[in-house]
Amino acid sequence: KAGVTQTPRYLIKTRGQQVTLSCSPISGHRSVSWYQQTPGQGLQFLFEYFSETQRNKGNFPGRFSGRQFSNSRSEMNVSTLELGDSALYLCASSPSVGRDTGELFFGEGSRLTVL
Amino acid sequence: AQTVTQSQPEMSVQEAETVTLSCTYDTSENNYYLFWYKQPPSRQMILVIRQEAYKQQNATENRFSVNFQKAAKSFSLKISDSQLGDTAMYFCAFMKLLTGANSKLTFGKGITLSVRP
């Protein structure tokens, strides 16, 4: 079974631009969540999508948005990039059906550098 | 809101020895999961071990075991017979237990573990 796939793996943007990151979950997984990882703040929850609906949202400004498609693939978008948005963005998927084990399966991440 | 605290930023252990990583958490919830995740350098994060809060028995997975003290809100990870491949960042994480609806993890800051040959 293929794992969680994130694209692109690396990207460089300049302040004020926008960026879209993509995540393909493990086949059969219906939940996709996104996390931001920085040396200073650690791992912070951005949002979670299940069946194309945002189910949970973290404490991030409205510049951060996401969506999920009918095939469970998800994208997140960051508009008007700031230097502080430089981070590793991790996507995770889970079956999220019934009382599952709670385990999240992570992708390798998209490393965003904002200049 | 939940918080997870890992107070040791770095640890080092000799190969084949045992090391314990500490984690404390704070929550008003009664039903939840606790996890230890491992993030090797430049590689994806993977689950090491999981504990359901309603289970009194400590979880074990081969060389990895936890000491779960619910009343003290403590959740430490013991790695026995440390191997070079255990070198990684380790994150303690908390998840509320909701039937069929939750994938939000609250992570600690992480601890960098180095295994010396």
Alpha helices in chain A (DSSP H): none
Is pLDDT at B113 greater than 80 in this prediction? yes
pLDDT score for A2: 81
Tens of pLDDT, residues B69-111:
999 999 999 999 999 999 999 999 999 876 655 678 999 999 9
Tens of pLDDT, residues A11-55:
999 999 999 999 999 998 989 999 999 998 999 999 999 989 998
Is pLDDT at A97 greater than 80 in this prediction? no
pLDDT score for A100: 61
Per the listing, tokens 């086949």 go with: A27
pLDDT score for B101: 59
Nearest Cα to B107, choosing from B46, B30, B25? B25
Contact list, A97 vs chain B (CB under 8 Å): 100
- Span A49-66, mean pLDDT? 93
Whether residue A18 contacts residue A76, with contact meaning beta carbons closer than 8 Å, is answered with no
Contact list, B37 vs chain A (CB under 8 Å): 106
pLDDT score for B80: 98
Is pLDDT at B112 greater than 90 in this prediction? yes
Nearest Cα to B90, choosing from B65, B103, B109? B109
Tens of pLDDT, residues B27-42:
998 889 999 999 998 7
Q: Cα separation of B50 and A35, whole Å?
A: 20
Banded pLDDT at B43 (limits 50, 70, 90): confident
Is pLDDT at A98 greater than 60 in this prediction? no
Per the listing, tokens 């605290």 go with: B5
Tens of pLDDT, residues B5-22:
999 999 999 999 999 999
Is pLDDT at A64 greater than 60 in this prediction? yes
Whether residue B63 contacts residue B49, with contact meaning beta carbons closer than 8 Å, is answered with no
Interchain CB distance below 8 Å, A96 and B100? yes
**Residue A3, amino acid:** G
Residue B82's CB: how many other CB atoms inside 10 A? 20
Interchain CB distance below 8 Å, B101 and A55? yes
Exposure of A97 in the CB half-sphere (CA atoms within 13 A): 5
Nearest chain B Cα distance for residue A33, angstroms: 7
Copy the structure tokens of residue A55. Answer: 């189910």
